[in-house]
Amino acid sequence: MICIVISFFDNINGPRPLLSIPNTLNDIDLNNIASLIDKTFETGFFIYEFPEYKTANYFFEIESEWARGNKEMVLLTIVFDLNFDYNSLDLQTIMNDFINELSNITNLFKAFYIFDFNRKKDNEVKFYYEKLKELIIDFKGSLPKETLAVNQNQIKIFVFGLDRAGKSTILNRAKTNLFVKTSPTINLNIMHLLFGNIQLDCFDVSGQKRYRYTWRRFIVSSQYLVFVLDVNREDRYEEAKIELWKVLSYEESKGIPLLILINKTDLKKKIDLNYFINFLNLYKIKDRKWHIMSTSALYNQGIKEAFEYIIKDLLSNQLTMFSM
Ligand SMILES: Nc1nc2c(ncn2[C@@H]2O[C@H](COP(=O)(O)OP(=O)(O)OP(=O)(O)O)[C@@H](O)[C@H]2O)c(=O)[nH]1
Ligand SMILES: [Mg+2]
C-alpha cells in the first residue's frame, strides 16, 4: 500500500485533498485522487486505476452543521501499487466499517475546515483534524497484512520487557508527547506511531509472567526489537536479563537488531550504561546489531531520540542494501 487519502468537497474550491497518511504522494497526485469525487454521484465503494497506481475508494457523507445541505461529502481512498491484487480482500467491508466508525463521532465535520480562513484558528477545528489523522493512522495499521505487501514505509517493532518496565508509557509518550497513565497491558496492544513518512507499528506486549509465553508469536516479521528495563528495580534485573536472553535465543528473533532502553532514569541520580552492557552480557550478542540508551517517559527524556535512532538505523541499512 502506498498511502491513505481523505478528500472532501470544498464549497469554494471543489474536490480537495484533506490529508494523506503517510504523505507520500505529490500535490498533483493528491488532487487527481480528490477529483475522483467528481466521477461519482452515489455514495459507496468503487475502484479506480491511474497509470501509476490503483485506488480503492469509498464516497460517503458526514453530518455537518457548517456545510450546505448539512453534509460534508467525503472520499476515503486507499492507494496501492499497480501490482496489488485487491480481489482477494473485502476492502469494501473494511472501508465501510471504518466509515461507520467515523460517522459516529460528533463534530468530526469540523476537521474539514482546517483550510477555512475564518475557522482554522478555532481550536476545535484543529482538534478534530488531529483526531481524524489519528483515526486514519490507526485504520492503516489495522488493515490486513496483504495490503502492506510492498510497503517500505511501514516498520514492525516488537517492544518487550518485564511488567511495569514502562513500555506502554514510552509508546504513549512517543505518540502523543504526553505522559499518559497506563493500565497493565493485557496480552498485546499495537500502537501506531508516525514519523514523517514512516509508520512504526509497535507491538507492545504484556510483561506479566502469564503472558510471556505469547511473545514469541508476535516477534515474527519484526524489523526491530526494543527491550525496556526499569532502572529502579534492581531486584528484578536478573529476571529481566533472563527474559531478554530468552527472546534473543528464539529462532523468530534471529538477526533482528535490538535497542535496549534503560527507563525511569528520573528515579536514579546517576546512570551508568556500561554497567548494563556488562550485566546484561550485551557484548556476547554476535548475531545482530544492538544499542543501549536511557529514557525517562516521565520527564520525556530520550524517547524521541530512541525512535529516531531506530528509523535512522533502518534507513541506513536500506541505503546500503540499495547500493550493493
Ligand atoms: N518515574 C517513572 N515512572 C514511569 C516511567 N515510565 C513508566 N512509568 C510508570 O511505570 C508504571 C508502569 O508503566 P507501563 O508503561 O504500564 O509499563 P509496561 O511495561 O507497559 O507494563 P505491562 O503492560 O504490565 O507489561 C506506570 O505507573 C508508569 O506511570 C518513567 O520514565 N519514570
Ligand atoms: Mg504495557
What dihedral angle (degrees, nearest 10) is formed by the CA atoms of 282, 286, 290, 293? 20
* Structural element, H or E, at residue 60: strand 53-63
CB atoms within 10 A of CB 293: 15
Domain boundary among 103, 118, 148: 148
Could you say which ligand is closest to the alpha carbon of residue 243?
Answer: 1
- What strands lie across the sheet with 290-294, from one edge to the other? 188-195, 198-205, 154-160, 224-230, 258-263, 290-294
Q: Where are the alpha helices (DSSP H) in 143-269?
A: 167-176, 215-219, 237-249
- 299 CA: nearest ligand 1 atom: 31
25-38 average pLDDT score: 92
DSSP 77-136: EEEEETT--GGGS-HHHHHHHHHHHHHTSTTGGGGGGTT-TTTTT-HHHHHHHHHHHHHH
CATH number at residue 293: 3.40.50.300
Q: Whose CA is nearest to atom 11 of ligand 1?
A: 164
Query: Residue 7: is its pLDDT beyond 90?
Result: yes
Q: How far is the C-alpha of 216 from the C-alpha of 210, rounded, in Å? A: 13
192 shares its domain with 300: yes
Could you say which ligand is closest to the alpha carbon of residue 166?
Answer: 1
Residues 227, 244: contact at Cβ < 8 Å? yes
48 shares its domain with 188: no
Ion ligand 2 neighbours (CB, 5 A) are 167-168, 185
- Per-residue pLDDT tens over the stretch 166-213: 999 999 999 988 999 999 999 888 888 888 778 888 999 999 999 999
105 shares its domain with 251: no
pLDDT recorded at residue 218: 86
DSSP 249-260: HSGGGTT--EEE
| Cα 157 to middle of ligand 2, angstroms | 15
- What strands lie across the sheet with 53-63, from one edge to the other? 14-21, 3-10, 71-81, 53-63, 44-49
| Cα 153 to middle of ligand 1, angstroms | 29
151-159 average pLDDT score: 80
Q: How far is the C-alpha of 49 from the C-alpha of 169, rounded, in Å? A: 42
79 shares its domain with 189: no
Residues 37, 183: contact at Cβ < 8 Å? no
Domain that holds residue 22: 3-148
pLDDT recorded at residue 321: 46
- 211 CA: nearest ligand 1 atom: 25
- Per-residue pLDDT tens over the stretch 77-132: 999 887 777 765 688 889 999 999 999 999 999 999 998 888 878 899 999 999 99
142 shares its domain with 175: no
Q: How far is the C-alpha of 20 from the C-alpha of 29, rounded, in Å? A: 11
Q: How far is the C-alpha of 149 from the C-alpha of 139, rounded, in Å? A: 16
Closest among 153, 150, 4 to 85, alpha carbons compared: 150
275 contacts: CB under 8 Å, gap ≥ 6: none
| Cα 230 to middle of ligand 2, angstroms | 13
Mean pLDDT of the chain: 90
Q: Whose CA is nearest to atom 21 of ligand 1?
A: 164
Domain boundary among 121, 148, 175: 148
144 shares its domain with 246: no
Domain boundary among 148, 173, 193: 148
126 shares its domain with 183: no
313 contacts: CB under 8 Å, gap ≥ 6: 224, 257, 289, 291
| Cα 185 to middle of ligand 2, angstroms | 4
What is the tally of structural domains in the chain?
Answer: 2
- 267 CA: nearest ligand 1 atom: 1
126 shares its domain with 164: no
23-29 average pLDDT score: 85
DSSP 282-301: GGG--SS-EEEEE-BTTTTB
**Of the residues 164, 232, 239, which should be mutated to test ligand 1's pocket, given the most ligand atoms within 8 Å of the CB?**
164
222-245 average pLDDT score: 97
| Cα 203 to middle of ligand 2, angstroms | 10
Cα four-point dihedral sign 112, 118, 120, 122: negative
134 shares its domain with 159: no
| Cα 192 to middle of ligand 1, angstroms | 19
209 shares its domain with 314: yes
Residues 297, 169: contact at Cβ < 8 Å? yes
Closest among 84, 196, 189, 193 to 145, alpha carbons compared: 84
The pocket around ligand 1, CB under 6 angstroms, is made up of 161, 163-169, 182, 184-185, 206-208, 228, 263-264, 266-267, 296-298
Return the DSSP state at 281.
T
pLDDT recorded at residue 87: 66
68 shares its domain with 161: no
80 shares its domain with 180: no
